[in-house]
Structure 1
Amino acid sequence: MNKKNLAYLQIHPKDNVLVALRDLPEFSQVEYAGETIVLKQTVKAKHKFTITPMSQDSEVFMYGVLVGKLNYDLDAGVLINTENLRHAAEDFKLGERKLAWTKPNVQAFEGRTFNGFHRSNGQVGTANYWLVIPLVFCENRNVLTLKAALEEKLGYQVQAKDYSNEVDALISKYKSGASVDELLGLDLQANPSGLGKNRLFPQVDGVKFLNHDMGCGGTRMDSDALCGLLAGYITHPNVAGATVLSLGCQHAQASILRAEISKRDPQFDKPLYIFEQQLEGTEQDLMQKALKSTFVGLAQANEMKRTPAGLDKLVIGLECGGSDGFSGISANPTLGYLSDMLVSLGGSVILAEFPELCGVEQELSDRCETSEMATYFMQLMKTYNAKAEADGSGFYMNPSPGNIRDGLITDAIKSAGAAKKGGTSPVTAVVDYPGLANGPGLNLLCTPGNDVESTTAEVAAGANVVLFTTGLGTPTGNPIAPVIKISSNTKIYEKMPDIIDINCGTIIDGEEQIEEAAHRVLEYVIEVASGERSAKAVLLGQDDFIPWRRGVSL
């Protein structure tokens, strides 16, 4: 797609609908396959319309796969919407291995490096953090107390935008008798945000405090999964060490956490301090020990320096949120091409969000390196969907109101576009939550489609950088891994420059091809991984962290 002013697009030769790349007024004439189609109503950019008359229950294809069936007869040139289209997806079964793929040209990146933090187990971090974690929600208050004591004093407090001046101005105007219209029209200026300065430990990027509402009172499966998730963060290459606070009597026991750490890193040698309040006694005793240990750990972490590492040490999590009708034809395929590049260079990528793989199961299972791996992937998909349907919320209910408003009418449409992030390389591993998925090649990780839950899981699985595509805009970040936001369209990039890092709307605008955009994104990733540039989510202090309760979360 390199022609400017292109008004509509057929994504795949098998598709029987077209995508509007700009608003098409009612009665517009569309030339397709030697025929002239007259639009029966206005079709907004990102939405789809029929190209031939279609009868009730006809199958609709996009990206070359089934994405829905018609509820009633439609003429050519009719807008596809939630009234006339219902979700439908292809059945899937164990098929033949389809492992052949065309590797992209990576000559421009061969031998390239980034400057990272090398750990004793061979992994390389793109950052260097210390963690303070509660094993159970009962310790959240103590974690926040530690945060209040440490963060500002050590120079790690993110300088968020200060709106107090605006409040003072509003108060002053109100007291002077200003009208409602005058108050609403007041020109306000906020003090800018930014990272903390004058750090005592300059080689440590921050102390991160990961509060949550789990650890006890739920199922043992959830508390065990929490321990696995936290172990993934403690053993993560972006983490130098951790302080863990436990009450003592909860389901999520320190012994379970240690066992999960050992599973992920049998030779684990990072500083790890675990304190149980019921053993320590008074809060003062607990907090003083935690403070002293954390301070000593930070001093040790500060001795680490960034040194060069090959791009094969990158583990990139692939994520999307606030998706739109352009995500599957600009930002997501850009990440797909980048994924294939990184795999060719010996690196790792993680494709997650299983509810958003509905309809492309056959392709992905066929790309699994072994039949056993393919069977496991299909089992995870079927079990997850069956659980969702039992609770009255199958995969078909995944699209949000924002997704639907901007062209993602069914889950299969959303999924077919979302899966483009995974490129075309063979699947080298299929991993269930909250396991490690950081092996070379393309890893499939079972997570929900929920942005924060999935990003939280991808980082626990080993992602040291997350690439996050969005068409509607989202501030999502992560405490320990940079989350780089990539827009699918230029409009949202220009509207939300404070949260979006890179624009792939250039592809829709006809200014750039997917391969060029992928090269540009990878250059950006290298800068972020080297500490030369900060992702917008890091600058905003967007430390989103939500463990997945293994119930229904789409």
Structure 2
Amino acid sequence: MRQWILKVHPADNVLVALTDLKPGEEVTYEGTTYKPSEFIPAKHKFAIDTLATGADIIMYGVLVGKAQHQIAAGGLLTTGNVKHAANSFMSEGHQYSWKQPDSSKFADRTFNGFHRADGSVGTANYWLIIPMVFCENRNVEVLQEALVKPLGYGRKKSYELKAQNLINKIKAGGSIDEVLFTEIEPENTVAGNARLFPNVDGIKFLNHSGGCGGIRQDSVTLCGLLAGYITHPNVAGATVLSLGCQNAQVSILEEEIKKRDPDFKKPLYILDQQKTGTEADLLDTAIRQTLAGLMQANQNTRKPAPLNKLTIGLECGGSDGFSGISANPAIGYTSDLLVSLGGSVILSEFPELCGVEQNIIDRCIDSEDAKRFTSLIRTYSQRAEEAGSGFDMNPSPGNIKDGLITDAIKSAGAAKKGGTSPVVDVLDYPEKVSRPGLNLLCTPGNDVESTTAEVGSGANIVLFTTGLGTPTGNPIAPVIKIASNTKLYNRMNDIIDINTGSIIEGDETIEQAGERILDYVIKVASGEIEISAVKHGQDDFIPWKRGVSL
């Protein structure tokens, strides 16, 4: 049944408007009637009772702000009358018990994936071409031009055709308003050119701006991230281009690969331009070796695998006031289901755990993990403050406009992505997931940096919730976009895959949505569904430079 307001937690002293509420309009929740004193836009919050100046504002059962001045009962919470505040926390946790969800209907399910020598299973099969330093980006682009379309991985560029129609009209002296376009959907192959290697999903190019300059630790971290991609279950092998003199030396990359896969057996071709000589020789060798690697990669085919071979990254971006009560709790339940089945999940975005740190600490199985989480998040917060910022500056203008007016409100809702299962490991960027269960990974809240990191740590699928809409994807892992509200899903369904607005509308429970999402994940992992980000070639890849980004 459709409700008009929601009290997220019994201890809350604010209510969420699920639709626009007029001043004086009476609305009822669980037998109690409330009357907003002013217009309350959907997704925003209003006070249950009068809040005095300095009063705590509680939502999700935690402190999310302080009243800057008195807020009348039924009054709208805004950035003008509320300031960020969050609970303090200690590194010591409390005893935690977890009630596992009923996952019996998924107990015998499998997905069809690509099995690797190290025992991991990929949801896709890609070849990588990677520069060790930004100086090699142009050579990588040349290889992209030389290989993608001839091998059948190009897509029809409908907008080029549309632009050409407009240009021809202008040349003929006509009006561009007279041009009518016929939709031309992107295709998986260039017309008349089928894939030469049908079992290889594509060649992906990880251009970046790092590898030299900065501090040496930046290069070591970058090598760790690149090693995470090379050893990733969705990757068959890689071609690596090195200039030779950069800080990110090949020897560091090789050491990082061994950390993640001591018995590494994938085809890996590393070329040093300063040793090879001419650009022509470098590119000729790279093309020959890449084609040889693709022939090997094409021999791998999809085979059944248990769901415990899935590692799901949990991400949110362009969040709104519904994200924390629909999409995020829904994938939180999906997370709990997968954990109960023996799979792994990754919760990252440390600036968006502000205010719920103690809850996270209490869920850590190992006291050392609790201490490490405490150290990582405090150090991160301190560095942000030293740079003239802070976690309280995390919400974007879009977040604030749609009801996430403090970082603690945003964070308390964002943390719902992690479900309720115990924390089995705490990882620092760019460490690899090695334990089944809920893993914490230190990353910024920046959508692409965090998604890039989760995949580098082993996520072979990412669940990405959004309330405002975003096209974010990843070169090698499917990023499934999940709308928090039906209006967004209907408006941007070319880039959104799943709608959880049904929860807001009362047509579906969080648990039902979570099960529906896991069923969808299994189909994506098996190659049965091509998600929007993959369809559009949304290959976002941004390494995180520590201390710069929230």
Establish whether TM, by shorter chain, passes 0.5: yes
Cα deviation for residue 25 of structure 1 reads 1.4
Among 496, 506, 513, the residue aligned to 2:509: 513
The separation in 2 between residues aligned to 1:368 and 1:514, in whole angstroms, is: 24
Choose the corresponding residue for 1:194, options 187, 194, 198.
187
Matched, 1:234 2:212: no
Instruction: Write the distance in 1 (CA, Å) between the matches of 2:178 and 2:41.
Output: 32
Secondary structure in structure 2 of the residue aligned to 1:162: helix
Cα gap change, 1:251 to 1:519, in 2 (>3 Å): same
Among 121, 138, 143, the residue aligned to 1:141 = 138
Of 468, 472, 489, which aligns to 2:468? 472
SS in 2 for 1:192: coil
Given the alignment, which residue of 37, 42, 57 partners 2:39?
Answer: 42
The residue aligned with 1:324 is 320
1:37 and 1:71 map into 2 onto residues whose CA distance is 23
Q: CA deviation at 1:519?
A: 1.1
Structure 1 runs not aligned, ≥5 long: none
1:85 has 2:78 as partner: no
Give, in angstroms, the shift of residue 498 of structure 1.
0.7
Residues 1:288 and 1:37: Cα distance change in structure 2 (over 3 Å) = same
| 1:166–1:188 Cα contact (<8 Å) kept | no
- C-alpha displacement of 1:30: 3.2
Of residues 432, 446, 463, the one that matches 2:459 is 463
Answer yes or no: is 1:154 the counterpart of 2:151: yes
Partner of 1:404: 400
Distance 1:513 1:176 in 2: 58
Displacement of 1:95: 3.0
Aligned mates of 2:396, 2:93 — CA distance in 1:
35
Report the counterpart of residue 164 of structure 1 in structure 2.
161
2:73 is the counterpart of 1:76: yes
Deviation track 1:135-155 (CA, whole Å, cap 9, x = no partner) reads 000000000000000000001
1:34 Cα deviation (Å)?
Answer: 6.7
* Separation of aligned partners in 2, 1:540 and 1:129: 16
**Aligned position for 2:422:** 426
The normalised TM-score by structure 1 is 0.96
CA distance in 2, matches of 1:154, 1:163: 21
Partner of 1:436: 432
Query: What CA distance in whole angstroms lies between the structure 1 residues aligned with 2:536 and 2:323?
Result: 24
Of the three residues 342, 345, 350, the one matched with 2:341 is: 345
Structure 2 residue 15 is matched with structure 1 residue 18:
yes
CA distances 1:230-251 after superposition (whole Å, capped 9, x unpaired): 0000000000000000000000
Listed one character per residue, the Cα deviations across residues 279-309 of structure 1 (whole Å, up to 9, x for unaligned) are 0010011111111110000000000011100
| 2:252 counterpart residue number | 256
Structure 1 CA distance for aligned equivalents of residues 529 and 127 of structure 2: 20
Q: Counterparts of 1:64 and 1:120 in 2: how far apart (Å)?
A: 46
How many Å separate the matches in 2 of 1:185 and 1:80? 48
Change (3 A) 1:89 1:202: same
Q: Secondary structure at the match of 2:158?
A: coil
Query: Which digits, 9 at most, give the CA deviation of each residue in 1:81-115, with x for residues without a partner?
Result: 10000100000002334331111011110011000
AA partner of residue 537 (structure 1): A
Counterparts of 1:332 and 1:438 in 2: how far apart (Å)? 24
Offset of 1:177 from its aligned partner?
Answer: 5.6
Deviates more, 1:189-198 or 1:226-235: 189-198
Deviation for aligned residue 1:217: 1.0
Greater shift after overlay, 381-390 or 437-446? 437-446
Alignment partners' CA distance in 2, 1:161 and 1:177: 21
**Percent identity for Structure 1 against Structure 2:** 62
CA apart distance, 1:192? 1.5
Quote the offset at 1:438 in angstroms.
4.4
Contact 1:124 1:313 in 2 (8 A): yes
Deviation, 1:511, is: 0.7
Aligned partners of 2:270, 2:497: CA distance in 1, in Å? 37
For the residue of structure 1 that corresponds to 2:365, the secondary structure is: coil
In structure 2, what is the equivalent of residue 275 of structure 1? 271
Q: Distance in 1 between matches of 2:174 and 2:240?
A: 53
1:409-431 per-position Cα deviation (integer Å, ceiling 9, x unaligned)? 00000000000000111000000
How far apart, CA to CA, are the structure 1 residues paired with 2:32 and 2:115? Answer: 60
Task: Please name the residue that 1:112 is paired with.
Answer: 109
